[in-house]
Amino acid sequence: MSEISHLRCFNHSEREAVARCPECGRTFCRECIVEHEERVVCAQCLVKLGRVPGKSGARAAMVLRGAVSLLSFMFVWAVFYYLGKVLLAIPSSFHEPFQQLF
């Protein structure tokens, strides 16, 4: 078996290989490998295995962002709604002393 330090990355021919993917047998640099279930595999094999890190929670994060946006909108709407009700509750006689100034 050849020494891995003399091998080059499959994706980047100018880089030295640091690991061999157990799935496909190709060698890769540090940038092209991912640790998964206590072994190192390349990105292509990880996709083939159907386990791309970070993709499983993407839908939940999108739903959470939508819910937070909706709740934020409802909160701002309620603040302005009740502020308007308070302003409408002020009797017009309150403004009469100020109208005499002009």
Number of domains in the chain: 2
Shortest CA distance to 23 belongs to which of 6, 10, 8, 5?
10
Q: How many CA atoms lie within 13 A of 77 on its CB side?
A: 6
CA dihedral (54, 24, 33, 20) positive or negative: positive
* 64 and 45 housed in the same domain: no
The answer on 10 and 42 residing in a single domain is yes
Q: Which amino acid is at 26?
A: R
pTM above 0.75, yes or no: no
pLDDT tens digit at each of 102 positions of the chain:
455 557 888 888 888 888 888 889 888 888 888 887 788 888 888 888 775 555 556 788 899 999 999 999 999 999 999 999 999 999 988 878 777 766
Residue 95: inside a domain: no
Secondary structure of residue 20 in the 3-state scheme: strand
Residue among 48, 25, 21 at smallest CA distance from 34: 21
